[in-house]
Structure 1
Amino acid sequence: MSAAPNLVNLETVSKAYPDQVILDAVSLGVSAGQRIGVVGRNGDGKSTLLKLIARTEEPDSGRVVRTGGTTVASLGQTDTLPDASTVRSALFGDADAHEWASSPRVREVLGGLFGGLDAPSLPDGLDSRIGVLSGGERRRVDLARVLVGSADGRPASVTEGADLLLLDEPTNHLDIEGIAWLAAYLNSTKSAIVVVTHDRWFLDELCDRIWDVQGGSVFEYDGGYSAYVLARAERERQAALAEEKRQNLMRKELAWLRRGPKARTSKAKFRVDAANELIANEPPPRDAAELVSFATARLGKTVFEAHDVTVKAGDQVLLEHLDWMLGPGKRVGLVGVNGAGKTSLLRTLADATEDRRPAAGRVKVGRTVKLAWLTQHMEDLDGSWRVLESIERVAKRVQWGRKEMTAGQLAERLGFVGGRQRTLVRDLSGGQRRRLQLARLLMAEPNVLFLDEPTNDLDIETLTQLEDLLDDWPGTMIVVSHDRYFTERVADETWALLGDKRLRMLPRGIEEYLERRAEAKSDSAAPAAARAKAPSQSTIDRATQKELSKLERRLEKVEDKIAAVHADMAEFATDPGKLTELQGRLGDLERERDEIEERWMDLAD
């Protein structure tokens, strides 16, 4: 079989900025159909590499050669969508609906990202103005633009996608279901793909090659993320390129990969015998019995006990009749549909530590509970402080299991190495601020941790360091994250909110959650289809049928808007002014829904 043709070649390409050499005489190629994942620390040049391939930046030396006729579609970290245009025009230009609506690929993308062909999850569907969309909605529109085939700035083709997709953090603003859908969709395309992402599950599910950007060089590995972990550990062992500490960490992660769920290694390309030999004497990542013993000593037998609890956001009931015990040493991954109440549940437990009662029922809190909550909101720190100083203002030393750690050692574990500990807070990037926020939180020596999207803005190397750090942390933890790999790595149990006001334990973890969500969607689609077909079985004239269809589409949009308002109410549950505004909007939407349903029933009768 002949080799796949090359689409793009980088020939001895170099790129430098005043303070750093990003790429130093790098030669790489992308062939048709390849799936390449790009990994490396933040700031090492992953995004720059994609820009060079896309020709939106020029190299200082060397050249980027693209095979004639190759079309390229790029997703950057920020979009260039015009605020005044509609979603429809951003995706399809001036093309008539019949030119794109019949395309299975377009229907799949709009369904996967926006819930249907008319994009009901957006405020005004495809007619929504870009300027009024949230950051997450804009991101999904830009991703849809790339996936439906908009290449090199030209309007989308509805027959063929781009030959090469360049995707910079495409999983941002997607939930676990959305990430699983995106991986499946990309696996079904013929396009070559180069993707920068810190989502290691996504890398393993999609990629057959890894580019590791380090210190101006790019190292290539066959296989997905699992294969990369093994091959990099082996290369560094043989060449003595990395210190022993990092090699132990890589082996530790590899051991978890091999012992973890079957789905984790289903696409691994490395030899099983070699992997087993490498990890033969590697212990499990955590000593669960010892950690529970430590946690019990610190916390006692009780952490949180919920008895017949109701959780609300405004007037909306998110959970009811909740009975749940969270004991010492428990590590829980909490997953669920947007608006189901994940953050509200954490807030209810946190409120109980300050003697605030839930809407109904009772939450019992252990006497020694010391809670720390890493939220998605950045801590406001004095910009004139230096990194180490800001950490030492919390504490200079911390007891970590059996070991004691200084503030400097903890900072180093979270990526602030050497001179970076003297960086001014005002000069930190978003990812660095996130790491600093986490370091300050851990220095306070909490025995209960709530981690709400802790992986935001962290690169893979920092994530593995954080996971290793948490392996030795003796306490109770709840993790809410769209990063499937991180959740499965640090949590021992998975609990789910499926939108039915109940909390369920899922023995098979996130895989079971996705199965249940797929079943729920299938079950809800069947009655909707039956309702849609019911009127057509009678002798209804064409005009009536047309109005019925129009009402059904309006009803779907209104229901999605109602769901979005409920989600906003959950988010702003502690802001009375915002809640009043949202409740007014909710009332208007519910009245509109009632009017639509009443008219639909009149026509159906």
Structure 2
Amino acid sequence: MPLLQLQNVDYSVGGPLLLEQVNLTIEPGERVCIVGRNGAGKSTLMRLICGEIKPDDGEIRVQGGVVVARMAQEVPQDTHGSVFDVVALGLGDLGALLARYHHAVHDGDMDAMADAQTQIEAQHGWDLDRRVSQVLEKLELPEDVDFSSLSGGMKRRVLLAQALVRNPDVLLLDEPTNHLDIEAIDWLEGFLKSFNGSLIFVTHDRSFLRALATRIFEIDRGQVTSWPGDYDNYLRRREERLHAQAQENARFDKLLAQEEVWIRQGIKARRTRNEGRVRALKAMRNERAERRELTGKVRMESAAAQASGKKVIELTQVAQAFGNKLILRDASTVILRGDKIGIIGPNGSGKSTLLKILLGELTPDAGTVEQGTQLQIAYFDQHRSQLDESRNAIENVAGGADFVEINGSRKHIIGYLQDFLFSPERARAPITRLSGGERNRLLLARLFAQPSNLLVMDEPTNDLDVETLELLEELLLDYKGTLLLVSHDRDFLDNVVTSTLALEGEGKLGEYVGGYSDWLRQRPVARTAAIEKPTAAPAAPAVHTAAVAKKKLSFKDQRELELLPARIEQLETDIARRSAAMQDAAFYKQDAASQQRANTELVAQQAELEAAFARWEALDG
């Protein structure tokens, strides 16, 4: 039985319906990703599902007892108190009461503690207190630390705990990887794979999407369609559908043009006019007028500058520290013209500091930095501080001029901004009214209007839809100059960069050929294990560690370990066969119940496969 259903749901924010006649169901154990262009209505659909807003028409049915929880997309500015306080807020008034009790215990205030205890007992609240503690333990969160002192990534983990403490059957996550470093994204992926409820999420991180999604909801021109299977299956089917749709539109437009010629043939045609044909023409005109075209694609072109010198930047034995925190120690590297370099490392490891040293904005504590000749630098700032809040999009890009010059060609500023999907109205609107995605597109428009031969991009992928991300990748691949790219988007790094600089802790700057996946294969394993799993206790001797890792299995466990590879292979074969059958057109000729049953069985098999892999790793450890 579905956990929740949307039936004939309409929602409008003025103009054409943002969401029209939406019919969807969410089944137990599903992991659904909502995809679509920026502004298509992804966040709106999430808010409808969790009841924050009501539909204009239609109905949203939630099965009795089903709990739906949504993790906030951005950290609320007024959030304060300890980690326990913030997590307990997910329980409403009783959570605030539990927070009061914990503060009274911490402060030794016996009267306040007794008063809170009495009220908690009256509401049978101790089970919920244990639930808060269990969630904090599971997410490895320190309950007494002040929320405001945490990093951005840890704050988002606390907000996730705030949603989880409600013990939701359906968990909604809107861009959960924004502002997380790669290590935190890996942790979140693993955690969500083990989550027992249903998951609905929005993300621009294609690697995260591929790892989690078992079904895709696509929003396109107000219509929401459901695509069973993984993201790559959706992409294939979507291209097939768009191709068929384009052919049908072309056939329709050709017929409409022929009928328009016929109706204008003059007196002879009017004498023999077929009134049924005239009515059909009017209906065709209406149908054509109501057609909603695909949202245009961003058209990007970077303004080229004269070539820089062959050597762009050279670091020699550079050291940098802030207080007791060591960022770089004896770091040396040479960046040559045409290099496309990714810079990776955990949040707070010093990526922005390294960029400032490379660009000459910060003098290191020791060592030398030598910049090449004829450098023209364009810089994309992740904090969008280059945008003037008091000016509109036109003024931010052109500075009051009517034209921008791109590679010798003059473009009117309105036309240039339309290439970045800004209508004339949005281009003239104050940028305080622009969404996060629009602001990032505006930064790109401003960036590429500047001639450059060294492009520096600090987290450019946040809030961009997947189509724009892929076009940005193509532009960067064709860019003739040198690229320095800080990103936590693993697919983006793999698709763009030719080498990687990794801040690996203790001042070490590692240099690797290739992108993120190549770094994973080449990185020092022992060192990485130490970074990813820090412990307060000293490391045990290697011999003892090996002995613990290779514990003796019981006969039953040994037998299970021997059978698991064959079981995993069978599950992979079954999943591949079922996915292929679901991609066949005949599958969609079945009734809705049969389609849903097949999708539920696929989700169950995928969960069984993940459990088998986890068990194999546990037994083989």
User: 1:73 Cα shift?
Assistant: 2.0
Give the superposed CA RMSD. 3.6
2:63 aligns with 67
Residue 393 of structure 1 pairs with residue 399 of structure 2? yes
Residue 109 of structure 1 pairs with residue 139 of structure 2? yes
Deviation per CA, 1:39-98: give whole Å up to 9, x if none: 222322111111111122211110001122222221132467984653224435444899
Task: State the identity %.
Answer: 36
Q: Is the 8 A contact 1:498 1:517 kept in 2?
A: no
Q: Structure 2 CA distance, aligned partners of 1:447 and 1:96?
A: 61
Q: Structure 2 CA distance, aligned partners of 1:421 and 1:84?
A: 37
Q: Structure 2 CA distance, aligned partners of 1:97 and 1:17?
A: 39
Q: Is the 8 A contact 1:73 1:150 kept in 2?
A: no
Please give the TM-score of this superposition, normalised by the length of structure 1. 0.66
Closer, same or farther in 2 for the Cα pair 1:527/1:176, shift >3 Å? closer
Residue 193 of structure 1 pairs with residue 199 of structure 2? yes
1:154 aligns with none
Residue 58 of structure 1 pairs with residue 67 of structure 2? no
Closer, same or farther in 2 for the Cα pair 1:71/1:97, shift >3 Å? closer
Q: Structure 1 CA distance, aligned partners of 2:471 and 2:212?
A: 24
Residue 13 of structure 1 pairs with residue 9 of structure 2? yes
* Higher mean C-alpha displacement, 441-450 vs 297-306: 297-306
Which of these residues, 365, 376, 381, is aligned with residue 359 of structure 1? 365
Q: Is the 8 A contact 1:415 1:462 kept in 2?
A: no
Q: Which amino acid aligns with 1:503?
A: L
Q: Aligned ranges for residues 153-232 of structure 1 at < 5 Å?
A: 161-232=167-238
Q: Is the 8 A contact 2:82 2:146 kept in 1?
A: yes
Which of these residues, 412, 422, 431, is aligned with residue 416 of structure 1? 422
1:36 aligns with 32
Q: Structure 1 CA distance, aligned partners of 2:369 and 2:147?
A: 44
Which of these residues, 165, 180, 184, is aligned with residue 150 of structure 1? 165
Q: Which amino acid aligns with 1:143?
A: L
1:304 aligns with 313
Q: Structure 2 CA distance, aligned partners of 1:171 and 1:499?
A: 22
1:447 aligns with 453
1:233 aligns with 239
- Which has the higher Rg, Structure 1 or Structure 2? 2
User: 1:382 Cα shift?
Assistant: 5.4
Residue 349 of structure 1 pairs with residue 358 of structure 2? yes
User: 1:134 Cα shift?
Assistant: 6.2
User: 1:410 Cα shift?
Assistant: 4.8
2:342 aligns with 333
Deviation per CA, 1:501-528: give whole Å up to 9, x if none: 2221234642465575874464476974
Q: Aligned ranges for residues 173-572 of structure 1 at < 5 Å?
A: 173-240=179-246, 298-313=307-322, 316-351=325-360, 357-379=363-385, 381=387, 385-393=391-399, 396-399=403-406, 410-417=416-423, 419-507=425-513, 509-511=515-517, 513=519, 516=523, 519-520=526-527, 522-523=529-530, 528-530=536-538
SS at match of 1:362: strand
User: 1:193 Cα shift?
Assistant: 0.8
Q: Which amino acid aligns with 2:29?
A: G
Q: Structure 2 CA distance, aligned partners of 1:522 and 1:475?
A: 36
Q: Which runs of 5+ in 2 are unaligned?
A: 89-94, 99-125, 251-301, 542-621
Closer, same or farther in 2 for the Cα pair 1:134/1:309, shift >3 Å? closer
Deviation per CA, 1:268-306: give whole Å up to 9, x if none: xxxxxxxxxxxxxxxxxxxxxxx9xx9997123111112
Closer, same or farther in 2 for the Cα pair 1:137/1:242, shift >3 Å? farther
Deviation per CA, 1:386-444: give whole Å up to 9, x if none: 434542339844546x9987755653443325654343434323332232222112211
Q: Is the 8 A contact 1:342 1:497 kept in 2?
A: yes
Closer, same or farther in 2 for the Cα pair 1:383/1:217, shift >3 Å? same
Residue 49 of structure 1 pairs with residue 64 of structure 2? no
Q: Which amino acid aligns with 1:441?
A: L
Q: Which amino acid aligns with 2:68?
A: V
Q: Is the 8 A contact 2:6 2:24 kept in 1?
A: yes
Q: Which amino acid aligns with 1:206?
A: L
User: 1:326 Cα shift?
Assistant: 0.7
How many pairs does the alignment contain?
A: 452
SS at match of 1:299: coil
Q: Is the 8 A contact 2:35 2:218 kept in 1?
A: yes
Q: Structure 1 CA distance, aligned partners of 2:86 and 2:457?
A: 36
User: 1:239 Cα shift?
Assistant: 0.9
